[in-house]
A and B are shown apart, each in its own frame.
Chain A
């Protein structure tokens, strides 16, 4: 079956702009989580959605937001982009709560965001 699909794969934005990234989870998966990965900070948790509700949030400013639709597809938005937001943004899906034992988390290939 199809894996986690993220779009777009690559994008370049200007400082101050906003960006929306999209994620389609594996069919049947109800949990979608988002992560930021940079060379200096590694993987950092942004937020997790389950049944259209945000269940957990990482330590990121309010410029980072997300939502999940009734079909489990998810979007994340970053407003007022800063140079430091340049990163690989990864989406992941799982059947249930991602952190629970027994729930394998499947990652997408990521969206590479460059802010200039």
Chain B
């Protein structure tokens, strides 16, 4: 079973509107959580990285929140633009004494329409 679950699988929003993407994880012990944006046919680009002591981190119109107690994170997109159309991937890393490994969510496909 995937240790990182994202919802919704896809969503369509009007340009200028806000939206929120969800990420639930079971990775334990937890080290850090990242959000990536991947345009179609391109490599993922880092948006934010957060550790358990951080609740909120922003990158322009993107704001990520983290609740390490409930093992939930969200990515909020404010005033969406057409260029926000992409897949958003949640990535979680566990805390380990050895070489860590990233766990990937399946992604949320966002389509922004004019």
**Which residues of the other chain, A, contact B100 by a CB distance below 8 angstroms?**
56, 97-100
Bound together, the chains give a CA A97 to CA B105 distance in angstroms of 20
Secondary structure class of chain B's binding surface, majority of residues = strand
**Is the beta-carbon distance between B31 and A42 smaller than 8 angstroms?**
no
Cα–Cα, bound, A4→B34 (Å): 19
B43 touches A98 (CB 8 A): no
Give the complex CA separation of A24 and B29 in angstroms: 32
A98:B45 contact, CB within 8 angstroms: no
Q: What are the interface flags for A92-116 relative to B under an 8 Å C-beta threshold, 1 for contact and 0 otherwise?
A: 1000011111101111111000000
Say whether, besides A42-B106, A42-B107, A109 and B31 are in contact (CB < 8 Å): no
User: Are A101 and B101 also in contact (CB < 8 A) when A106-B46, A110-B43 are?
Assistant: no
Q: Would you call B89 and A104 a contact (CB within 8 A)?
A: no
Contacts of B43 in A (CB 8 A): 4, 90, 92, 107-110
Specify the chain A residue showing the minimal Cβ separation from B100: A99
Q: Let me know if A101 and B31 touch, CB within 8 A.
A: yes
Question: Least Cβ distance of B54 to chain A in Å?
Answer: 10
